[in-house]
Chains A and B, each alone.
Chain A
Amino acid sequence: MNLKPLFFIGKRLASMALIVVGVVIILFFLLHLAPGNPAQILAGFQATPEVVHQIEVKYGLDKPLYVQLMTYLTNMIRLDLGTSIMSQRPVTDEIMARLPNSLMLATVAIVEAIAISLPLGVLAAAKAGSRFDAAVTAFTSIGVALPTFWTGLMLMLLFAVELHLLPAGGIGGPQNFILPSITMAVPISAPIIRVTRNAALEVLEKPFVKLAIAKGLSMREVLMKHVLKNALIPAVTLIGLQFGVLIRSAVITETVFAWPGIGKLLVDSIFARDYPLVQGTVFVIAIIYVAINLALDVAYVVIDPRLRSGVSTEWRF
């Protein structure tokens, strides 16, 4: 059996672990090296030095920095992310209660974005220079320019407030997904459409596409089997990069639509100065981000046989 794919995935897993450790360390220093004493903030500014000291002892803040870092890291490994100051419940519980909501919304949004972007991009390339192509290009320009909160509010205003067709926010049935998922899909669709269109334009010039036409395949078959699949490699790279945008727009969208996910949790915890919760949420988001990128690396290998045998391809940026 060919072991190369396994080595490949192993290497990615190792680098993924390194990235997560890096994120944790940066998070640690963000909290501990930021101006101001966290114990003072926790205790409130009216607190006496004795109270502040008590808190320092309670959270181990009186120990040397490297000891604190080690404790912090070992706690992370045990998935002990501390206790929320707001709710006094474990941060892990707080996050786990919200995470499924976010994952569902994000999945719906990304599926919508991909389902719309890939065909639009390929079709725009196949009809390059047409009105359809111009319309798609216009949509991509507008799509990247629209701020998420504005798109969300406008959609809400039109479909919820004016037309009473859809709920304005909160979680419930499938109809609750429509507005927030579209809000999140718009900013990530625009760049995916562009990259797919450009990649497809390049693929359309390849002799193997001409050969597919020369075989007598229908345009639909040529586009679906050959053009789309070959354009998918750069598109997948971009979809990976778009997860960063997705997380950012999740924070805003969940806040706009009162969606009880980790994006909203993050915003609420920042406003409440609930540092353990902020840290825990960012940690979980980082892990999700890295895991998705790992999944996409595996996706390349599935799509492109040249990567399976270690041949580099011209497509990857």
Chain B
Amino acid sequence: MQEKILEVRSLTAKYVTRKGEVPALRNIDLEIYAGERVAIVGESGSGKTTLASILTRLEPSNLVIEEGEVIFGGRNILEAVEEDLREFRKKEVSVIFQNPSESLDPLYKVGTQVIEALRAAGLNGGRKELRRVAEDLLRKVNLPNPSRIFESYPHELSGGQKQRVAIAIAIAKNPKLLVADEPTTALDVSVQTKILELLVKINEELGVTEVLITHDIGIAHDFAERIIVMYGGKVVEVGRTEEVVADPLHPYTKHLINSLPRGGDLPPGDSRVVDFRIPRDGCPFAPRCPLASEACRKVEPKLTAIDGRLVACHNLRAVKPQSFEV
């Protein structure tokens, strides 16, 4: 297949809080290929945001990485020293956050913040020259009247406009990889679609590899070529979008798809959220899984290749015939 741009190997991490330790990621293995759009889907507590923060090395200080490696450009970025990390951030990886209102510094003009990103990426030149480049970037993310936006403060813009500015800042360095953590969750539905379209356009035109973190498998379906499903800090299913959506193999993926509103009859769906603070053996989905057996509760299922996909479930044969509703 294509060239790997990023590789995560048996990544395990936990949060250390005053009340105790909370496991966050368990033995994550995944690969991201150059130029693709991939979505990481999961509910709150699945570890998707923790994973995204590690991929960009912006993880919170109370997160402890117990083992594993993240290989980017031939080196393990988990072992990178501060200077190497800065190089990595200046030129190679960008990030977009959930809440556009908080992603821009309220005290500086939008233009100043875009130029700051350009300068950090190594672009030199006078303010006039940089302003021209910055306005080009603002135009590229479909902002009307870039020179007015350039002179605006963040509070003078709408949520959608701010998220476009954040995207402009993200592509200012012409990154290899762009990690977007729930970039549309804080926006109106109509704006959501436009932001997703913009991200797709950037991927297609600039060739930026994009990783989208979302809780919404519908958004993942609209955006991604590949979907990685996470549950309880584990990757439970990986596959091409159409295949995963049309024929989910893991009971949790099935549950996600069944929970999508599909005009009218909503399936009941078990939406209990399990407390992950209790470290457990076995499959993390077992307490909610209708197929869970004694083996599921005791032995952790490994990601296994099946029909060009990866699934971590002991009951694959039972799941395949789609003989049940989760």
Contacts and interface: CB of A to CB of B under 8 A. Distances in A.
B119 to A, nearest CB: 9
Contacts of B99: 207
B285 interface: no
B105 interface: yes
Nearest to A206: B102
A306 B106 contact: yes
Interface stretch (A87-95, A116-124, A213-221, A278-286): A213-221
Given A206-B102, A210-B58, A216 B120 contact: yes
Nearest to A210: B58
A74 interface: no
Interface of A: 206-208, 210-218, 225-226, 229-230, 303-306, 309, 311, 313
A146 B120 CA distance: 45
Interface of B: 56, 58, 86-91, 93-95, 97-99, 102-109, 116-117, 120-121, 153, 155-156, 166, 169, 173
Contact of B121 (A216, A226, A304): A216
A216 B86 contact: yes
A207 B120 contact: no
A-B complex: 6 closest residue pairs judged by Cβ atoms: A216-B90, A216-B89, A207-B97, A305-B153, A215-B120, A207-B102
A206 B100 CA distance: 11
A214 B106 contact: no
B164 to A, nearest CB: 14
A315 to B, nearest CB: 9
Contacts of B91: 216
A309 B90 CA distance: 34
Contacts of B173: 215-216
A303 B107 CA distance: 7
Given A216-B89, A217-B120, A305-B153, A210 B95 contact: yes
Nearest to A229: B107
A210 B88 CA distance: 15
B103 A211 contact: yes
Contacts, number: 74
Looking at chain A's contact residues, the main secondary structure is helix
B94 A214 contact: yes
A208 B86 contact: no
B107 A305 contact: yes
B102 A213 contact: no
Interface-centre pick from B91, B116, B156, B166 (highest chain A CB count, 10 A): B116
Contact of A210 (B93, B97, B121): B97
B155 A230 contact: no
Contacts of B166: 211
Contacts of A213: 58, 89
Contacts of A214: 56, 58, 89, 93-95
Nearest to B90: A216
A204 to B, nearest CB: 10
A212 B172 CA distance: 13
A305 B155 contact: yes
B87 A230 contact: no
Contacts of A305: 106-107, 109, 153, 155
5 contacts: A211-B166, A226-B105, A305-B155, A309-B155, A311-B155
Contact of B104 (A208, A309, A311): A208
Contacts of A309: 153, 155-156
Contacts of B98: 207
A216 B156 contact: no
A215 B168 CA distance: 12
